[in-house]
Amino acid sequence: MKYRFPEGFWWGSASSAAQSEGAAQQGGKAKTIWDHWFEIEPNRFHNQIGPAQTSTFYENYRQDIQLMKNIGHNSFRTSISWARLMPDGINVNQEAVTFYNNVIDALIENGITPFIGLFHFDMPLYWQQKGGWESRETVEAYAKYAEICFNLFGDRVACWMTFNEPVVVVEGGYLYDFHYPNKFGFRMAAQVAFHMMLAHSLAVRCYRSLKLPGRIGIVLNLTPSYPRSQHPADLKASFIADLFFNRAFLDPAVKGAYPAELVSLLKEHDQLPVYQAEDLALIADGKVDLLGINYYQPRRVKARMTAISPDAPFMPDWFFENYEMPGRKMNPYRGWEIYEKGIYDILINLRDHYGNIDCYISENGMGVENEERFIADDGQVKDDYRIDFIREHLKWMHKAIQEGAHCRGYHLWTFIDNWSWMNAYNNRYGFISLDLETQVRTVKKSGEWFAEVSRNNGF
């Protein structure tokens, strides 16, 4: 076998509570910002499909876990819904405890290692109304919630992930208008980013103090930044994009400190968040055991060519422009670039500059619009394009591992086609297709292929 992976490699997929559970108003769950946003602005959501219409994991988790096993999963990530576990922000909902206990136990009984996230974009409305991540009160509330989760489920959860893609919460909610509360302002965005990393660090500190058997980490969407050319102005543009979108989270999570260049840039422009003296020691305690990497596409940048108006509010975009590199390979079924080598570059960068931290690919995947067009007469989606996509990424991962990177697994986004924030079901990503009318699940060709790869631990 040409591409054999290390013993014990994690093969599986990822999902999240809000995108798969359904039962949005059942089992004692309170509203999240997504339930609320859909009520007030349904037109923001593709085909006006909101977060109540998912793949019903809440009811069908046993069937789904059986399917995971059938397609070779030895690990799976989902998240706990904070709004389900603590609907009033203080008390624990016993129905939710039973549900998450059942899910975790069923995974383990089926030989699937549970990776559990604590926050995947789904802020309880209750905390959002008190300021969400803008407020320090939410940081304290999250730390309490994390401690409750560790005490309830930590005896069985092998890997905890404090946050999923915190930068997306910042970009979407405070800079570029694609997540609630769709506000705008860089200083607020920086405060939100800082508060999430404080909350992360409190959770890590608490987890370590409990001396539980598993590991704790964070999931970051690392987007390697490539300059248009080696001209110093393009190199600088790329360096700054990397600072804002990767290193603002990666450095504190792995090194326990913010990059000095980022701090001085924000200071120079009077954009530093408010912090307390003891916060930096707390950030230093937030170093993870395991890093989850979500990789979809690279960022290509060039030096800014068009001038910024002197009254324009401060933005990362002051320092660079996106660069549409001629000839880059695009996903023909959704407008994202496909650059498989990016996964290798990320892993080598972690090897060389981040102490070769233990990591795994926590999301990678190919969104496809109108995937029904690939259903064959036998009823199966023949997604050969997804098989190629995964295989080419695995080859680059394999090369990085051969060269010493500590990459421990690969999770596809996602298991069953799921509801996806404002895109709803526009882009299908799963190993398994979902009929929205009947909820019937059908394994795609890629699911069968992946089962073989997992069984052989390579291809």
Binding ligand BG6 (rule: CB under 6 A), the pick from 11, 344, 413, 459 is: 413
Instruction: Give residue 168's region: left, alpha or beta (phi > 0; psi -120 to 50).
Output: alpha
The interface region with ligand BG6, picked from 88-96, 224-232, 383-391, 421-429 by CB under 6 A, is: 421-429
Read off φ and ψ for residue 251, nearest 5 degrees: -65, -50
Read off φ and ψ for residue 289, nearest 5 degrees: -85, -30
CA 258 to centroid of chain Cα atoms: 21
* Least spacing, CB of residue 15 vs ligand BG6, in Å: 8
Please identify which residue in the block is written with the tokens 């309490």: 144
CA distance 331 to 432: 20
The interface region with ligand BG6, picked from 26-34, 161-169, 273-281, 316-324 by CB under 6 A, is: 161-169
* Least spacing, CB of residue 120 vs ligand BG6, in Å: 6
CA distance 208 to 201: 11
The residue number whose beta carbon is nearest to ligand BG6 equals: 420
Helix 166-174 vs helix 186-210: crossing angle, to nearest 10:
150
Question: Quick check: 16 binds ligand BG6 (CB under 6 A)?
Answer: yes
Question: Quick check: 12 binds ligand BG6 (CB under 6 A)?
Answer: no
Tokens matching residue 301: 């940048």
Of 228 and 411, which has the nearer Cβ to ligand BG6? 411
Of 65 and 366, which has the nearer Cβ to ligand BG6? 366
Question: Quick check: 38 binds ligand BG6 (CB under 6 A)?
Answer: no
Question: Quick check: 415 binds ligand BG6 (CB under 6 A)?
Answer: no
The interface region with ligand BG6, picked from 35-43, 160-168, 187-195, 341-349 by CB under 6 A, is: 160-168
CA distance 437 to 172: 30
Catalytic annotation, pick one of 363, 369, 371, 392: 363
Contact 122, 33 (CB under 8 A): yes
Q: Where in 426-445 is the site for ligand BG6 (CB under 6 A)?
A: 427
The interface region with ligand BG6, picked from 164-172, 179-187, 312-320, 448-456 by CB under 6 A, is: 164-172
Of 57 and 459, which has the nearer Cβ to ligand BG6? 57
Question: Quick check: 363 binds ligand BG6 (CB under 6 A)?
Answer: yes
| Segments in 43-165 forming alpha helices (H) | 57-70, 82-85, 94-109, 125-128, 136-153
Nearest to residue 15, comparing CAs of 58, 70, 44? 58
DSSP, residue by residue, 324-373: --TT--B-TTSS-B--THHHHHHHHHHHHHSTT--EEEEE----EETGGG
CA distance 59 to 24: 12
Structure letter (DSSP) for residue 231? S
Binding ligand BG6 (rule: CB under 6 A), the pick from 164, 238, 246, 364 is: 164
**Catalytic annotation on 437?**
no
Number of H helices, E strands in the chain: 16, 15
Helix (H, G, I), strand (E, B) or coil at 389: helix
* Least spacing, CB of residue 421 vs ligand BG6, in Å: 5
Binding-residue pattern over the window 112 to 141 for ligand BG6, x denoting contact by CB under 6 A: ------------------------------
The interface region with ligand BG6, picked from 141-149, 163-171, 191-199, 432-440 by CB under 6 A, is: 163-171
Question: Quick check: 421 binds ligand BG6 (CB under 6 A)?
Answer: yes
Binding-residue pattern over the window 175 to 214 for ligand BG6, x denoting contact by CB under 6 A: ----------------------------------------
What is the contact surface with ligand BG6 in residues (CB under 6 A)? 16, 19, 164-165, 168, 221, 294, 363, 367, 413, 420-421, 423, 427
Catalytic residues: 363
